[in-house]
Amino acid sequence: MASLKSVTPKGALKDQWTNHKNDINLVNPANKRLIDVIVIGTGLAGSSAAASLAEMGYNVKAFCFQDSPRRAHSIAAQGGINAAKNYQNDGDSTFRLFYDTIKGGDYRSRESNTYRLAEVSANIIDQCVAQGVPFARDYGGLLDNRSFGGVLVSRTFYAKGQTGQQLLLGAYSALSRQIAKGKVTMYNRHEMMDVVTVEGKARGIIARNLITGKLERHGAHAVVLCSGGYGNVFFLSTNAMGSNVSAAWKAHRRGAYFANPCYTQIHPTCIPVSGEHQSKLTLMSESLRNDGRIWVPKKKEDCQAIINKTKKAEDISEEDRDYYLERRYPSFGNLVPRDVASRAAKERCDAGFGVNSTGNAVFLDFASAIERYGNLEANVKNIKNPSPQQIKDMGREVVKSKYGNLFDMYKQITDDDPYFTAMKIYPAVHYTMGGLWVDYNLMTNVEGLYACGEANFSDHGANRLGASALMQGLADGYFVLPYTIGDYLSKDIRTGAIDTTSEAFSQAEQSVKERIEKLINNNGTKSVDHFHKRLGKVMWDKVGMARNEKGLKEAIAEITEIREDFWANVKVPGEVNGFNPELDKAGRVADFLELGELFAKDALDRKESCGGHFREEYQTKEGEALRDDKNYAYVAAWQYNEVPSKAKLHKEELTFKEVELKTRSYK
Amino acid sequence: MKLTLKIWRQKGPEDKGAIQTYPVDGIDGDMSFLEMMDVLNEQLIEKGEEPVAFDHDCREGICGMCSMYINGRAHGPKRGVTTCQLHMRSFKDGDTIYIEPWRSTAFPVIKDLVVDRSAFDRIIQSGGFVSVNTSGNTIDANATPIEKENADKAFDAATCIGCGACVASCKNASAMLFVSAKVSQLALLPQGDPERKSRALNMVNQMDEEGFGNCTNTGACAVECPKEISLENIARMNREFLKASISKES
C-alpha cells in the first residue's frame, strides 16, 4: 500500500503551481486520442473535468445517476462563488483569499492546495463569463459582489440565489458541446458500483444501468471521482435525495484512504425540521446574513409566547431581543463563519431560548434591512418625508431584488411570509469537508484514481467558508486536474485500450452481482428508509454539532447494531433487472452504514475541537473551540477495514510555511 | 387528512399502463407532495407491493427532476412551483388526486411516473452553448460590460430547470419555451453573439427531429412553468430563427 506522499512542489507557495505545471510530463495531442478517462458524477467538478479533458483530446466517459448531467446537486448551491478579483478595491488579493480560507478551515487543510485554489479563482470567473453565465451586474454593466461569512471583503460573485445552477449549466453546456463532438460519451442514469484495479492501478469501473438493471464493464486509463459529499449519512441534510457516498466508499474499499470523515459542515441557516415525515432540509443561503440579523428573545416567557402563538417576533421590543452573534462577535457580527454561527444557535436553543415548538429555531430578521434600504431608496428617488409604510414598501422591493427566490422558497415551505415576519432557522447538515485523501495532483493513494470537488478532502480543512465549494469544484475540474492527470497518463501512451474481459473485471462484477442479489433476496420486513432514519438519528444526536467521548462510543456500537439489523431484516421490493429506485437506495444506505462508523471513529480519535468538529471536552471558558496544534495538526487518512472502527490510521502531518497558527477569533 | 390517490402505473415502455387507486391516511399539511408519496410507498413496501416509481432529487425546486402531472396540471395546482415544493396544505381532507406522468411522444415513459427526457439534452448538445475552451486564457470578466437589463433578462431565461412541464402542458407537446429560454439567454449576451445564427437554426432543427410539436401561442407552457419563464422568449427565438434563415438563404 502506498504511503502518504503529498508530492507538494518545492519553493515558495506563490511559485509552486507555476513551477509544478512546468515540471510535469505532458501527453502529446496525438497520444491523448489513445487514452480513455472515466469521470464519475457531473456536478461542478465532474462536468468541468469531463469537458476540459475532452477539449484537451482525451476520450472521456462520464457517468451520472440522475436522468441528465444538468441535475447534479451542485445545481442547488445558492449564494455565490469566491474569487480574488479585487473588483471592489477593498484590498483583496490571492494571499488574502488563501489566508481567509486556511484560517476559516481552522488550519487543518494543506497549505499548498489552498493557495493554488486561491490562485486559480480569478480565472474561473473569466471562464464562466465567457461561457455566458449570467452573473449579477451593476448599472454600469460590470460584475457585482457580495460578502460571505468569515471574511472582511466583498469577493463573492453571484446570480441571485441560484449561483450553483448558473455555474453548473455553464459547465453542462461545455460538457454538452463535447458530447456533440463525440469526445465525451455520456451515461445518464448509471451508477458506479465498483472501481476495478489491475496491478494496483485503477483501470475501470463496474457500472449499473439504472433503467435496465444490467451491469456494465468500462475500462479506462484513469478514473476520476467527482461524486460529491456524504452529508446524507445524517438522513436529513440539505443534500439531494440521491446524494451518496457510494462511489467514494467503493474506492475506499479498493484501497483509497478516506481522510477526515468527521469534518462536517452544519450550516447555520436552514429551515427547521417540521415533523416526522420530513425527507430533507432546505438551506436558506448564507448571503441572507448580509442583511438578516439573528436573534432570540432575552426572556423565556417571550419564547413561550411565540411558541404558543400569542406573540410574534415583531411584538418583542428591541431591548428584549438578544442579537447573540452581534453580542458575542462584535467585529464579524452576523457574518461569522458557519461553524461558529451554528454552535451559537445551538447554545441559545439548548439554554431554552428556541422559538418554535421543537425548541430548535432562532430568528433571522430582515426588518432593519428593509428599513435601511427603504430610507436609501427614498433618498435616491428624492422622496421628501416618506411615510413609514412607503419606506417599508421600497425596502421590501430592494430585499426582493436581492433574495426574491429564497424568500419565495421559504414561504412555500413554511407558509410564513418573511417580508412581513422574521424567518425561523436552525442549523442543518450541509457539506462534508472530509473525503478521499488526495495528493497535490488530486490523485488518491491508488494510482490512476483521482478525486475532485467535495469528494476529496484537500482544500477546506475542518470548516469551509461560504462560496468556496463552487470555487473548489470548478478549480479542480477546469484548471487543476486536466493538467495534473497528464503527468500520470504520460506513462500510459503505449498501454492500449484496457481489456475488460480480464480476471479483475470479472471478479469485481461478480462481487457487485452477489451484493445486489443479497439485497433483493433478503426478504426482510423493514424498508430501506427505516434503517436510514435510524442511522441519521444516531449521527445527529451523537456525532452532530457537539460530540463527546461517551456519545461517540455509543454511536459506534449503535451503528454496528443497525448495520447488522439492516443486512438481516431489510426488505427491497421489485426486481434486479429493471428500474428499481428502492434497490439503488438500499446499496447506498448499506455504504452509509459503514461510513457512519468510520466517521464516529475519526471524531473519537481527534481529541481537540476544530472547525466543524466540536468535542465538548475541548473548549475554552467562553465555549469556543480549543484546537491542539501540537498533537493534531495532521490529516487523518483511514485505511479500509471490514469493521470500520478498526480502520488503520495514517497521518499526513500538516506544515505551514506562510501562515502562523493562531486561535481563530472573530470577536 | 385522508386522500384517495389515482395513480398511473406502467411497468415499462412496452406496457399499456392504467390508473390504480390507493387510499392514504395521516397526511399532514406541512408535508410536501413528494413526502406524501413517500408515505404511500412505505405502505406499499410493507404490504409487499411494488412502490410507485417517480423522479425526484433535490426536493427544493431547482434540479428539475420531479415531474408529476397532478389533477391535470404539471407540478400541480400552484403556480411557480415544482412538485417537490407543493405542500399538502394545498389539498383538503377527502380529496381525490389524479397523478400521471408527463405525456409526450418525445418523453417516453420508463416506469410509472418516470419519463425519459434525454431529448432535452440532445437539443442543448445541438447548440445550447458558447464554443469557448476552458483554456484559462479568456479575457478578464469585466472587459466586456453588459447592460444590466440584458444581463437580467438573460438570467431570467437561464433559470429554466429543464423539467419539461412546458411540454407536458402544451396540447401540441411543444418544447418551444425550453428551447427559446436557452436561445434567448445566449442571444442577449455578447458572448453568445458569434454563434447566434447557427444556434437558433440547429436547436430548432433538433427540437423538430425529437418529435416535439409546434407552438400555437396558447401560452399554457408559461402558465405552468415552475420558473415562470416568459413567452417573450419564444417571440425572441422566432425572430432569431427567422433572421438566421434569411441570412442563410442570401
Q: Which chain A residue shows the shortest CA-CA distance from B133?
A: A55
**Parent domain of B96:** 3-110
Helix, strand, coil: what percent of chain A each, to 5? 45, 15, 40
Q: How confident is the model at residue B248 (pLDDT cuts 50, 70, 90)?
A: low
Nearest to B185 among A52, A69, A132 (CB): A132
A527 vs B: CB within 8 A: yes
pLDDT digits (tens, 9 = 90+) for A419-447: 999 999 999 999 999 999 999 999 999 99
- Is the CB of A527 less than 8 angstroms away from the CB of B158? no
Q: Averaged over A39-53, what is the pLDDT?
A: 98
Given a contact cutoff of 8 angstroms between Cβ atoms, the answer to whether B100 and B68 are in contact is yes
pLDDT digits (tens, 9 = 90+) for A400-413: 988 888 999 999 99
Q: Please, which residues bridge with residue A615 across strands?
A: A547
Amino acid at A270: C
User: What is residue A1's predicted lDDT score, i.e. its pLDDT?
Assistant: 45
A176 vs B: CB within 8 A: yes
How far is residue A288's CA from residue A421's CA, in Å, rounded to a whole number?
15
Which CATH number do you get for residue B94? 3.10.20.30
- Is the CB of B141 less than 8 angstroms away from the CB of A69? no
Of the candidates A129, A178, A125, A132, the one whose C-alpha atom is nearest the C-alpha of residue A479 is A125
User: What is residue B240's predicted lDDT score, i.e. its pLDDT?
Assistant: 97
B250 has a pLDDT exceeding 60: no
Q: A614-638 burial string, b = 16+ CB within 10 Å, else e? A: bbeebeeeeebbbbebeebbbbbbb
* Residue A503: its H or E element: helix A503-520
SS3 call for B6:
strand
- State the smallest CA–CA distance between residue A268 and chain B in angstroms: 18
Chain B positions touching A159 (Cβ under 8 A) are 155, 158
B136 has a pLDDT exceeding 80: no
Name the domain count of chain B: 2
B182 has a pLDDT exceeding 90: yes
How far is residue A280's CA from residue A278's CA, in Å, rounded to a whole number?
6
Alpha carbon A245 to its chain centroid, in Å, reads: 12
- Is the CB of A126 less than 8 angstroms away from the CB of B134? no
How far is residue A161's CA from residue A405's CA, in Å, rounded to a whole number?
7
- State the smallest CA–CA distance between residue A121 and chain B in angstroms: 11
A67 vs B: CB within 8 A: yes
pLDDT digits (tens, 9 = 90+) for A339-367: 999 999 999 999 999 999 999 999 999 99
A21 has a pLDDT exceeding 60: yes
pLDDT digits (tens, 9 = 90+) for A160-173: 889 999 999 999 99
Alpha carbon A168 to its chain centroid, in Å, reads: 15
- Is the CB of A186 less than 8 angstroms away from the CB of B121? yes
Chain A positions touching B39 (Cβ under 8 A) are 277
Q: Please, which residues bridge with residue A570 across strands?
A: A526
* In chain A, domain spans: 268-429, 502-633
Same domain, B169 and B93: no
**Choice between A79 and B45, residue whose per-residue pLDDT is larger:** B45
How far is residue A345's CA from residue A350's CA, in Å, rounded to a whole number?
8
What is each CA distance from B42 to A281, A359, B35, B112, in whole angstroms? 20, 29, 10, 17
Nearest to A141 among B42, B140, B148 (CB): B148
Q: Which chain B residue shows the shortest CA-CA distance from A158?
A: B155
A155 vs B: CB within 8 A: no
B135 has a pLDDT exceeding 90: no
- State the smallest CA–CA distance between residue B24 and chain A in angstroms: 14
Integer-rounded Cα Rg, in Å, for chain A is 25
B247 has a pLDDT exceeding 90: no
Q: Among all chains, which residue has been given the C-alpha cell 424498508?
A: A527
ipTM of the complex as predicted: 0.97
Determine which of B37, B42, B49, B58 to mutate to test the interface with A (most A C-beta atoms within 10 Å): B58
- CB-count exposure of residue A659 (10 Å: 0-12, 13-18, 19+): middle
- Residue spans of beta strands (DSSP E) within A301-391: 321-322, 362-365
Q: How confident is the model at residue A148 (pLDDT cuts 50, 70, 90)?
A: confident
For residue B170, report the phi and psi dihedrals to the nearest 5 degrees. -85, 135
SS3 call for A196:
strand
> Average pLDDT over chain A, rounded to whole?
96
Q: How confident is the model at residue B137 (pLDDT cuts 50, 70, 90)?
A: confident
Determine which of A168, A176, A400, A484 to mutate to test the interface with B (most B C-beta atoms within 10 Å): A176
A174 vs B: CB within 8 A: yes
- Is the CB of B128 less than 8 angstroms away from the CB of A176? yes
Chain B positions touching A139 (Cβ under 8 A) are 148
Chain A positions touching B12 (Cβ under 8 A) are 578-579
Same domain, B244 and B123: yes
A29 vs B: CB within 8 A: no
User: What is residue A666's predicted lDDT score, i.e. its pLDDT?
Assistant: 85
Amino acid at B208: D
Same domain, B242 and B167: yes
Q: Averaged over A608-637, what is the pLDDT?
A: 95
A494-501 — which CB contacts under 8 Å span 24+ positions? A495/A221, A496/A34, A497/A36, A497/A219, A498/A36, A498/A198, A498/A203, A498/A204, A498/A219, A498/A220, A498/A221, A499/A219, A500/A204, A500/A217, A500/A218, A500/A219
pLDDT digits (tens, 9 = 90+) for A264-313: 999 999 999 988 889 999 999 888 998 999 999 999 999 999 999 999 99
Same domain, B46 and B88: yes
* CATH 1.20.58.100, domain A502-633, yes or no: yes
Cell of A531: 434503517
- Is the CB of B125 less than 8 angstroms away from the CB of A179? yes
Same domain, B222 and B125: yes
- Is the CB of A173 less than 8 angstroms away from the CB of B57? no
- State the smallest CA–CA distance between residue A170 and chain B in angstroms: 8
* CATH 3.30.2130.30, domain A268-429, yes or no: no
Chain A positions touching B63 (Cβ under 8 A) are 66, 71, 73, 75-76, 240
User: What is residue A147's predicted lDDT score, i.e. its pLDDT?
Assistant: 87
- Is the CB of A180 less than 8 angstroms away from the CB of B126? yes
Same domain, B94 and B192: no
Cβ contacts below 8 Å, chain A against chain B, sum to 216
Same domain, B147 and B216: yes
- Is the CB of B155 less than 8 angstroms away from the CB of A166? yes
A134 vs B: CB within 8 A: yes
Q: Averaged over B56-77, what is the pLDDT?
A: 97
User: What is residue A2's predicted lDDT score, i.e. its pLDDT?
Assistant: 47
Same domain, B84 and B126: no
Determine which of A119, A173, A410 to mutate to test the interface with B (most B C-beta atoms within 10 Å): A173
Determine which of B55, B84, B134 to mutate to test the interface with A (most A C-beta atoms within 10 Å): B134
A273 vs B: CB within 8 A: no
Determine which of B39, B62, B67, B148 to mutate to test the interface with A (most A C-beta atoms within 10 Å): B62
Which residues, including other chains, have CB under 8 Å from residue B16's CB and lie 6 or more apart? Answer: B10
B138 has a pLDDT exceeding 80: yes
Residues 101-120 of chain B with CB under 8 A from chain A are 110-111, 114, 116-118, 120
Q: What percent of chain A has pLDDT over 90?
A: 93
Given a contact cutoff of 8 angstroms between Cβ atoms, the answer to whether A61 and A218 are in contact is yes
Which CATH number do you get for residue B218? 1.10.1060.10
- Is the CB of A188 less than 8 angstroms away from the CB of B118? yes
